[in-house]
Amino acid sequence: MQPVLKPIISRDQIQARLRELAAQINRDYAGQPLIIVGVLKGVFIFLADLIRLLEMPVRVDFVRLHSYGASDTSSGQVKITKDLELDITDRHVLIVEDIIDSGLTLKYLLERLQERRPKSLKVCCLTDKQERRTCSVPLDYVGFVVPRGFLVGYGLDYAEDYRQFPDICELEL
Ligand code: IMP
Ligand code: MG
């Protein structure tokens, strides 16, 4: 059977919310250089749209994380499979993520980056599956709080498919 894709956040809603998030980030950092750390791969479209709305000097780097566990849950055993190339010591750093689910991946990343002594470390995520959280992680900028279903599109994948869809959809398998 073909999976059903139910649109839940349209491309227009995403762009409108991005303008609000960027305005907030522009106010908070006002003229201070910022290193944006994108978490691959799901974040690539969100990050590309967001940084074009930022007014301070921005540098971009990426990490890729692998988390062990069943395919749809992370176990908390995480490792960095692609590390940063920029030095973040004494810099303002903003982690940009596509979706926060249990929070375990982000918790691990925050701990690893904090060890490098950035000047500040904050988090911006496009979507927040709040009710699935199993550990407490601070989120500074949140695009949308979303329901617990599996989301695809606008960079988000299911087994590497559907990243190219312009709207965020719920996948009904
Ligand atoms: P966490 O460690 O449970 O918070 O998992 C976060 C990661 O799992 C995200 O960065 C995504 O890569 C992936 N993920 C969690 N939920 C979804 C979803 O609904 N769609 C696509 N990827 C997801
Ligand atoms: Mg991710």
> Which protein residue's CA is at the shortest distance from atom 2 of ligand 1?
105
Work out the average pLDDT over 146-159.
95
pLDDT digits (tens, 9 = 90+) for 96-142: 999 999 999 999 999 999 999 999 999 999 999 999 999 999 999 99
pLDDT of residue 71: 58
Convert 84-133 into a string of H (helix), E (strand) and C (coil).
CCCCCCCCEEEEEEEEECCCHHHHHHHHHHHCCCCCEEEEEEEEECHHHC
157 is a catalytic site residue: no
Ligand in closest contact with the CA of 62: 2
Residue of 39, 72, 74, 101 to test ligand 1 pocket, by largest number of atoms within 8 Å of CB: 101
| Average confidence (pLDDT) over 7-32 | 98
Q: What is the pLDDT of residues 49-72, one digit of tens each?
A: 999 999 999 999 999 999 876 556
Ligand 2 midpoint to CA 102 (Å): 11
Residue 26 has pLDDT above 90, yes or no: yes
Distance 14 CA to ligand 1 centre (A): 18
Q: For the residues 147-158, what does the mean pLDDT come to?
A: 95
Distance of CA 101 from the midpoint of ligand 2 (Å): 9
Contacts 24+ apart (CB under 8 A), 9-18: 9/127, 9/144, 9/146, 9/154, 9/167, 9/168, 10/167, 11/154, 11/166, 11/167, 14/49, 14/126, 14/143, 14/154, 14/167, 14/168, 15/49, 17/143, 17/144, 18/46, 18/49, 18/50, 18/53, 18/143
Report the run of H or E that residue 148 belongs to, with start and end.
none
Residue having the nearest C-alpha atom to atom 13 of ligand 1:
99
